[in-house]
Amino acid sequence: ISARDGETRRDDFSLSFTDRRQLDPAVIQTPYLRVLEAYGLRDVALPSKPCTATLHLRLDGRCVEAWMNTPAPGSPEYLPEMSRLAGAVQQMARQWLPALYLARIETYSRPSAVHPLLAWSCSPPCSGPRKKDLSYDFMDPKVVDSVLQASAAGFREIRRFAYLRKEL
């Protein structure tokens, strides 16, 4: 994107992201596999030896025009459109943050950090109690209780995975 004479001009551009990590077979890779599944990579077979995994994502700039053309705050289209975008970002964060944080086996020695992250990852993206909030207000204890209740079933399910019960 460039500007000339005060006017924005969209040049050809792309957004890219690369995640490179060492995969250790001693660490259960369930969170990372969930990220791969989110991008359509299912039934990935990981080698039994340590390896380097690289995930490179590239998005053509034309696909992100939505961020350049968002409705004006206060317009009737603003909340529905921004809620949809915020929900998509929150959903991907619920995939990526556990995968990034739980990549090292040392992390599991701190259940007090692991369990809240996993509980949050099981919670639904915010739709707001009044349908006008784009994210949860985690400073409000009532909101925290509500989010934890909404994530309870998913958290019970995810606790069945071996990576939460792995003996260190």
Each residue's pLDDT tens digit, 17-67: 898 988 888 777 888 888 888 888 889 888 999 999 998 888 777 776 666
* AA identity, residue 23: L
Q: Where are the domains of the chain?
A: 11-164
Q: What is the pTM of this model?
A: 0.62
Question: Could you read off the pLDDT of 68-115 as tens digits, one per residue?
Answer: 778 888 898 888 888 888 888 888 888 888 878 877 777 777 888 888
Bridge-partner residues for 15, per DSSP? 59
**CA pair distance 107, 103, nearest whole angstrom:** 8
In this structure, what token pair is assigned to residue 138?
A: 């985690």
pLDDT at 51 (0 to 100): 93
In this structure, what token pair is assigned to residue 17?
A: 């992201």
Averaged over 7-14, what is the pLDDT?
65
**CA pair distance 166, 168, nearest whole angstrom:** 6
Secondary structure (3-state) at 23: strand
pLDDT at 49 (0 to 100): 94
Confidence of residue 151 (pLDDT cuts 50, 70, 90): confident
Q: Which residue has the higher pLDDT, 63 or 11?
A: 63
Q: Which residue has the higher pLDDT, 6 or 58?
A: 58
**CA pair distance 76, 79, nearest whole angstrom:** 7
